[in-house]
């Protein structure tokens, strides 16, 4: 016969065992799994609950009709194919001081899940007035029967919303978007974001585009838009990062942040640009527009063929304190660098000021194969309009000996009327195998210090500390990839070693990661030679 105490012990034990069993059941089929939704275009069924691979949904329509919440995951089966547009609803949020996003990704082994908009939608992926989303590992196309304006692979569209935070795009393969190739017809291409608001100013905060591959998208690669006017309407996007993306066979602009403060563009590659833009259309590789404090670094741009501009890099209209550093530009028909501002823009309040260009290498830029606006125009440096306080130092410009219809190294110009002012070139190596010329126009206060001018430089600048001897590179050549740039390091005995002028706030390192000296003069060029 059991005592009351023994019965109590047994009942207590049974309660514990039962509670444990219920906990196990809850962990496998309860709220945690209810936050995961699977989508399988072959074996799914929209009448399923989606909470397991064997009980998956089937269609984009089911996904688009569901309002998701913070912590939800939508997983598309690898190899699945869908036709239409993915337009997710709902937003994540901050929770306990950390982002609690909604995540889209794939499950299973195989190709990325593919969404073909087939030209029926403006974008294959449309993100509209939502926030806290992380979207990964999708393949997106949008090719219609004929090219069409404003056609895109991805469109992030924030209007009359306020600040939309934490939108991340990672590992997307975006290809075959046949938008228009003419800029004035409307923005089209791989990834586009736009922030605007007539009732409520809008912007992005924490926008990331990383490890995406963009191929055969017309017209542009990755481009933004937003509130561009200074004053009461100035509402720039913040914490915009565009990193480690590959852009191929895109004829227009590669990466263009617009209306941002503190954007970071790094470790991207743009190459194999197609010659598809109409005559007179302008485009370039990587450049900000109406932005403050942009940093553009460790990027490689090559093969740009736009009929006008076609430089590797640019600091453009109404930009302030742009830094272009540690980049590789080569074989761009329009040249290496554009710094410009339209003095005739209305309202006439725009100014490009404080651009810094340092520790970059340009090889074989400025050899245009077709005339630009019926002119042989392809200066390696084009500085135009009301541009002020530009600093260009410790760069290497390597010009091989080959026929060139416009052998201009530096062209000062007057876009909209005014001319550039206060342009400083220091510690650069201008290496020319043939002959180049210079056009100063009516620019004001341009000066040169401690530069190397090797080769023939007609109408060259006055540099009181000029060096004309061979800088003695290790083995210079024009080839793709940052690894090839080691050939532009200095050999022992180079006249460039410790021959430069010290520069404060110089970034602290050279192109190759060497620490810059502070107690002795730096080397000239992009390589800080270790003399120890």
Q: Which two tokens stand for residue 107?
A: 């499950």
Please say which residue of 239, 260, 278 terminates a domain: 278
Weakly modelled stretches of the chain, pLDDT under 70: 1-32, 346-349, 531-532
In a domain, 316, yes or no: no
Q: How many CA atoms lie within 13 A of 503 on its CB side?
A: 29
Cis peptide before 493 (omega within 30 of 0): no
If one counts the domains in the chain, the total is 2
CB burial class (10 A; 0-12, 13-18, 19+) of residue 73? middle
Q: How far is 290 from 228, CA to CA, in rounded Å?
A: 6
Measured torsion, CA atoms of residues 68, 69, 70, 74, in degrees rounded to the nearest 10: -20
In a domain, 10, yes or no: no
**Residue 368 sits in the same domain as residue 473:** yes
Cis peptide before 347 (omega within 30 of 0): yes
Please say which residue of 278, 312, 346 terminates a domain: 278
Question: Which structural domain range is residue 343 located in?
Answer: 332-532
Alpha carbon separation from 126 to 115, 122, 144, 518 (Å, rounded): 12, 8, 17, 50
In a domain, 246, yes or no: yes
Please say which residue of 247, 278, 309 terminates a domain: 278
| The pLDDT of residue 259 | 95
Q: Would you say 416 and 345 are in contact if contact means Cβ atoms under 8 Å apart? A: yes
Q: How far is 267 from 245, CA to CA, in rounded Å?
A: 7
**Residue 337 sits in the same domain as residue 274:** no
Q: Would you say 287 and 242 are in contact if contact means Cβ atoms under 8 Å apart? A: no
In a domain, 48, yes or no: no
Q: Which two tokens stand for residue 516?
A: 């810059």
Q: How far is 127 from 173, CA to CA, in rounded Å?
A: 17
**Residue 102 sits in the same domain as residue 208:** yes
In a domain, 65, yes or no: no
- Grouping H, G, I as helix, E, B as strand and the rest as coil, residue 513 is coil
**Residue 403 sits in the same domain as residue 259:** no
Q: Which two tokens stand for residue 288?
A: 């900000």
Q: How far is 113 from 118, CA to CA, in rounded Å?
A: 16
In a domain, 317, yes or no: no
In a domain, 17, yes or no: no
| The pLDDT of residue 233 | 77
Q: How far is 38 from 110, CA to CA, in rounded Å?
A: 16
For 103, residues 6+ apart whose C-beta sits below 8 A from its C-beta are: 72, 73, 74, 133, 134, 135, 136
In a domain, 314, yes or no: no
**Residue 116 sits in the same domain as residue 178:** yes
**Residue 254 sits in the same domain as residue 355:** no
Q: How far is 296 from 351, CA to CA, in rounded Å?
A: 19
**Residue 269 sits in the same domain as residue 365:** no
Residue among 130, 145, 110, 103 at smallest CA distance from 40: 110
Q: How far is 37 from 74, CA to CA, in rounded Å?
A: 5
| The pLDDT of residue 241 | 98
Q: Would you say 236 and 267 are in contact if contact means Cβ atoms under 8 Å apart? A: no
**Residue 337 sits in the same domain as residue 273:** no
Q: How far is 104 from 244, CA to CA, in rounded Å?
A: 20
């Amino acid at each position: 016969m059991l005592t009351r105490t023994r019965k109590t012990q047994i009942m207590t034990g049974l309660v514990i065992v039962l509670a444990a069993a219920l906990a196990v059941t809850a962990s496998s089929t309860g709220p945690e799994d209810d936050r995961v939704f699977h989508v399988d275009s072959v074996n799914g069924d929209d009448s399923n609950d989606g909470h397991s691979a064997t009980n998956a949904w089937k269609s984009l329509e089911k996904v688009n009709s569901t309002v998701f919440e913070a912590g939800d995951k939508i997983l598309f089966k690898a190899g699945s194919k869908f036709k239409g547009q993915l337009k997710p609803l709902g937003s994540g949020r901050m929770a306990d001081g950390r982002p609690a996003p909604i995540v889209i990704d794939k499950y299973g082994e195989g190709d990325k899940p593919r969404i073909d908009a087939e030209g029926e939608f403006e974008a294959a992926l449309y993100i509209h007035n939502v926030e806290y989303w992380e979207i990964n590992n999708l393949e997106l196309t949008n090719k219609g029967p004929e090219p069409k304006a404003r056609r895109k692979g991805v469109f992030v569209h924030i209007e009359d919303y306020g600040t939309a935070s934490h939108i991340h795009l990672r590992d997307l393969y975006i290809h075959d978007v046949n938008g228009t190739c003419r800029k004035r017809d409307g923005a089209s291409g791989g990834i586009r974001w736009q922030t605007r608001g007539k009732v409520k100013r809008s912007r992005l905060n924490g926008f990331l585009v990383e490890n995406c591959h963009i191929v055969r998208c017309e017209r542009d690669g990755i481009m933004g838009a937003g509130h561009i006017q200074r004053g009461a309407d100035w509402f720039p996007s913040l914490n915009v990062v565009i990193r480690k993306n590959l852009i191929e066979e895109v004829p227009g602009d590669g990466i263009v942040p617009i209306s941002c403060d503190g954007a970071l563009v790094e470790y991207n590659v743009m190459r194999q640009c197609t010659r598809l833009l109409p005559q007179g259309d302008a485009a370039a590789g990587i450049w900000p527009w109406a932005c403050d404090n942009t940093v553009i670094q460790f990027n490689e741009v090559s093969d740009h063929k736009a009929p006008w501009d076609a430089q590797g890099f640019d600091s453009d209209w109404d930009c302030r304190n742009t830094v272009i550093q540690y980049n590789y530009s080569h074989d761009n028909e329009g040249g290496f660098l554009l710094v410009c501002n339209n003095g005739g823009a209305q309202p006439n309040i725009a100014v490009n000021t404080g651009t810094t260009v340092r520790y970059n290498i340009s090889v074989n830029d400025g050899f245009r194969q077709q005339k630009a606006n019926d002119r042989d125009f392809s200066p390696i440096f084009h500085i135009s309009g009301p541009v002020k306080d530009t600093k260009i130092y410790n760069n290497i410009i390597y010009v091989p000996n080959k026929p060139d219809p416009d052998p201009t190294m530096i062209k000062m110009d007057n876009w909209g009327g005014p001319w550039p002012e206060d342009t400083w070139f220091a510690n650069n190596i201008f290496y020319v195998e043939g002959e180049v010329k210079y056009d100063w126009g009516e620019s004001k206060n341009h000066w040169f210090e401690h530069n190397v001018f090797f080769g023939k430089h007609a109408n060259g600048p006055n540099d009181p500390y000029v060096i004309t001897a061979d800088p003695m590179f290790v083995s210079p050549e024009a080839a793709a990839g940052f690894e090839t740039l080691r050939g532009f390091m200095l050999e022992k005995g180079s006249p460039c070693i410790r021959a430069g002028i010290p520069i404060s706030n110089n970034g602290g390192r050279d192109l190759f990661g060497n620490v810059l000296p502070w107690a002795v003069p730096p080397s000239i060029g992009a390589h800080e030679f270790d003399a120890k």
